[in-house]
Amino acid sequence: MYDADRKLADGIEAMNIPVKGSNREQPAGGSAYGAADEEGGSFTEFDIAAIYRTLRKHLGVIAGITIGLTALVLVWVFQLTPLYTANAQVLLDRQKMQVVDMQAVMSGLSPDSATVDSEVEILRSRALAGRVVAEFDLTKDPEFNSSLQSPPVFRWLDPRVWAGELISLIEADPRPIDGAMLAQRELNEVIDNFLARLSITRQGMTYVIEIGFQSESQQKAAQLANAVADTYILDQLEAKFDATRQANDWLSRRLGDLRQQVVDSERAVAIYRTQHGLEETNGLTISEQQLSELNAQLILARTDLAEAQAKYDRAKEIRTSGGSIESVADVLQSGTISQLRQKQAELARELANLSAKYGPRHPEIVNAEAQRRDIQRQIGAEIGRIMGSLQNNVSVAKTRVSSLEDSLKQIRGESGVGGQALVQLRQLEREAEANRTVYESFLNRFKETSQQSDFQTPDSRVISKATPPVSPSYPRKGQTAILALVLSAMLGVGVAFLLEHLDNGIQTGRDIEQMLGVPHLVSVPVTPVEKQANGKPMAPPDYLIAKPLSAFSESLRSLRSALQLSNVDNPPKIVLFTSALPSEGKTTTASSFARAAAASGLKVVLVDCDLRHPSVHKIFMGERRPEEGLVELLAERLSLDKVLVKDTKSELDIIPVATGTANPPDVLGSAQMKLLLQRLRDAYDLVVLDSAPVLPVSDSRVLSKLADETVFIVRWNETPRDAVQSALKELRNYDTVIAGVVLAAVDTTVQARYGYGDGGYYYGKYSRYYVN
């Protein structure tokens, strides 16, 4: 704190206490003497240097969060029980051993990804986990049954414990629980804990599945990982055995039904045949056989008829036309004709020989001619007989054809009567045949499945057994420590930027020039705690005299130089000191500035213009209150000489306030005040006015029009930015000439961490140049 506006007993002590905390640092915009840098970018623009300053500013917060959280995590990690992870690998085997060519009841695994993922889920299933839990009796293992565990010392450091307790309270069932339900709940908890330790992962896009299990025991981790793999393969075999056995049972029951259906359907066919006279020989009924035979005979008879008719017609045609009948096949084939022709030929030779010896009337020749004519007659008779035979053959063939046609018509008539019965018979036969086919198919399948029930192979095999791990997999203390350090540091940085964002104070001259748009004149450091001879804290104006080479004294000299350089040709002689709010340090700064100027050899007068809460006299006069002051002087009841108070430690003149007034703005804006300031301008080198704050009252606004320049005081890291902006806006509305802003009560040790570009940084950074 840095202010004499408070009560003297508290104010001077408070002014020497460094202000804790800091605020957001922004990109540089000006020097300690108010020379603004023309740098691009706004206050909110991303700036690496600003980020660095923010981190440096809140280094303590970042370090505290980082160290604290990291230590807390390490305490939690080191009290955890080490867990070991063992891994086994199972291959989904696509190559099947086919001993015999039989289709399996339960098909093997298809090679697609969905199937592999499904097997992964089977390995994660509660049913499989329950079998392993039952096999190893894990309900009696404290590692998996929390009711058998003793709580760890630091169990409440684990957030999961809080969550579990909270869920238990929310889901608590007020109804009484019987023993069976309690045992089931215990079993479910053990299975849940078992599954929490089990990890099932597919190795890329391969058919290999890795089974990992985590346990407090190295041996147990390997044992349970292998147990899961073995149980999974056993489950596949049992599933196949069960499926085959169920298929056999069903086929056996079904075969009995099918066998009876075959017997019934074949009996129905036999009965129907007997009832309708449809007995069969070689697969045909008697009627069908008769029709078939008659059709065959009729075809042969018609063929014979056609052949006989053709022979007869040919012979008849030759005989009618006078041709040689002997060319007819039957004539040529006749033995009698052949013998007669032979005799005729012999007789012709004999007749030729006789004709050579005898005359035509010779008896031998006559006898020979008679024999020749007899033979010719016999040949004609034989040919007539053959023609009659051909004609008779035609008649017989026609009679046979007609007879067969009549018999066929008769049998067809009889068949037409039994045709409907035959259709029904064929339907019954088809049903019997269908039943027989189904029965034989089921019988063959039953024989195959009966053989398969004794030989089954799993679809998976273990390609890598789990072995006891050497080192624990959890907790990974080194990695956890690094992660905790990084995350806590990130959290610390986040908190630092949050604090910077929420901080509404002003810390550097860069803030003043970039946010307020006015020059930063100087940063006045807070004075160290110094005791006077009477044991009371030393006021800043007294510290100025006691420590002329201190950073505090140097800042006031810098302020005077900045005011002089603000207008070299016509330096301000009447300077008004004000602030946005009370307790900003304006009175202390104005008093110290006036005493520093007087100590440099200038003739200076300090006028206390805060008619509502005057405090200048407390700094220079102690507990003694003046009897006359500014109000009496302006009322022309006293002369200037009567009102002036001489500073005992410098050549400074002071016009205090002894009594108040009902209307301070009217008094300060009166013609008498203007005349007084003109007299002081003529009589002194520098007139310093200490006025009331701008926002609460209008005194400073009225008075600023009478001053050459106004120095605005902002308390470091405390004055709200919006209050400063509002106050400066009010002063500008009165056409006030604002020389700049003084950053008061600066903790240079803290500000030295904010970076370059501010006078407070150099006061802290190079403190060896000052005698504090």
**Orientation of helix 335-357 relative to helix 363-452, angle to 10°:** 150
Q: What ranges make up the beta strands (E) of 101-153?
A: none
Residue 199: predicted pLDDT: 96
High-pLDDT (> 70) share of the chain, % = 79
The label of the residue with tokens 């207008």 reads 567
High-pLDDT (> 90) share of the chain, % = 34
The label of the residue with tokens 């760890």 reads 152
DSSP states of 529-549 as a string? --B-TTSSBPPHHHHHHH-TT
Q: What ranges make up the beta strands (E) of 496-628?
A: 520-525, 574-579, 604-608
CB proximity list for 590: less than 8 A, separation 6 or greater: 577, 606, 616, 688, 689, 690, 711
Other CB atoms within 10 Å distance of the CB of residue 739: 24
- Residue-wise pLDDT for 405-464, tens only, equals 887 777 766 555 456 777 787 788 888 888 888 888 888 877 776 666 565 677 889 999
Cα dist. 247→237, 244, 427, 437, 455 in Å?
15, 5, 32, 19, 15
Report angle CA 317, 319, 322 to the nearest 5 degrees: 105
- Residue-wise pLDDT for 613-670, tens only, equals 999 988 888 777 888 899 999 988 788 888 999 998 899 999 999 988 889 999 999 9
Residue 500: predicted pLDDT: 82
Per the CB < 8 A criterion, the answer to whether 725 and 694 are in contact is no
Q: Tell me the C-alpha distance between 645 and 655, whole Å.
A: 6
DSSP 3-state of 577: strand
DSSP 3-state of 657: coil
The mean pLDDT of 140-157, rounded to a whole number, is 74
Q: Tell me the C-alpha distance between 119 and 200, whole Å.
A: 10
Q: Is the pLDDT of residue 100 over 70?
A: no
Per the CB < 8 A criterion, the answer to whether 147 and 139 are in contact is no
Per the CB < 8 A criterion, the answer to whether 439 and 258 are in contact is yes
Q: Tell me the C-alpha distance between 6 and 10, whole Å.
A: 7
Residue 40: predicted pLDDT: 39
Q: Which of 394, 367, 452 is nearest to 105 (CA)?
A: 452
CB proximity list for 634: less than 8 A, separation 6 or greater: 667, 670, 672, 673, 676
Residue 322: predicted pLDDT: 60
Q: Tell me the C-alpha distance between 293 and 132, whole Å.
A: 80
Cα R_g (the chain), whole angstroms: 67
Q: Tell me the C-alpha distance between 525 and 41, whole Å.
A: 29
pLDDT category, 41, cuts 50, 70, 90? very low
The mean pLDDT of 391-396, rounded to a whole number, is 84
* DSSP label at residue 153: T
The mean pLDDT of 54-62, rounded to a whole number, is 86
Return the structure tokens found at 618. 């407390």
Q: Tell me the C-alpha distance between 82 and 460, whole Å.
A: 32
pLDDT category, 506, cuts 50, 70, 90? confident
Per the CB < 8 A criterion, the answer to whether 587 and 15 are in contact is no
The reply to whether the predicted model has a pTM over 0.75 is no
CA 144 to chain centre: 31
Which residues does residue 201 pair with via DSSP β-bridges, in sequence order?
210
Q: Which of 462, 466, 460, 474 is nearest to 225 (CA)?
A: 466
- Residue-wise pLDDT for 275-320, tens only, equals 776 665 555 666 667 777 778 888 888 888 888 787 777 777 766 7
- How does the average pLDDT of the chain come out, rounded? 80
CB proximity list for 235: less than 8 A, separation 6 or greater: 122, 128, 131
Other CB atoms within 10 Å distance of the CB of residue 494: 12
Residue 467: predicted pLDDT: 95
Return the structure tokens found at 196. 């929490």
CA 538 to chain centre: 67
The label of the residue with tokens 């690998």 reads 89
Phi, psi of 198 (to 5 degrees): -95, 135
- Type of residue numbered 281: T
pLDDT category, 213, cuts 50, 70, 90? very high
- Residue-wise pLDDT for 185-204, tens only, equals 999 999 999 999 999 999 88
Q: Which CATH class is domain 8-57+504-765?
A: alpha beta
The label of the residue with tokens 């203390």 reads 477
Q: Tell me the C-alpha distance between 637 and 650, whole Å.
A: 28
pLDDT category, 519, cuts 50, 70, 90? very high
Long-range residue pairs from 436-442, CB within 8 A, at least 24 positions apart, any chain: 436/262, 436/265, 436/266, 438/258, 439/255, 439/258, 439/259, 439/261, 439/262, 442/251, 442/254, 442/255, 442/258
Q: Is the pLDDT of residue 173 over 70?
A: no
Return the structure tokens found at 349. 């030779």
Q: Is the pLDDT of residue 64 over 50?
A: yes
Residue 493: predicted pLDDT: 94
Least confident of 56-60, 209-213, 446-450, 566-570: 446-450
Prior bond to 475 cis, omega within 30?
yes
CB proximity list for 697: less than 8 A, separation 6 or greater: 612, 664, 665
CB proximity list for 407: less than 8 A, separation 6 or greater: 294
Q: Which of 309, 284, 608, 306 is nearest to 425 (CA)?
A: 284
Other CB atoms within 10 Å distance of the CB of residue 768: 6
Task: Please indicate whether residue 493 or residue 112 has the higher confidence score (pLDDT).
Answer: 493
pLDDT category, 222, cuts 50, 70, 90? very high
Least confident of 75-84, 246-255, 511-520, 608-617: 246-255
Q: Tell me the C-alpha distance between 707 and 703, whole Å.
A: 7
Residue 4: predicted pLDDT: 37
Per the CB < 8 A criterion, the answer to whether 608 and 617 are in contact is yes
pLDDT category, 1, cuts 50, 70, 90? very low
Per the CB < 8 A criterion, the answer to whether 138 and 190 are in contact is yes
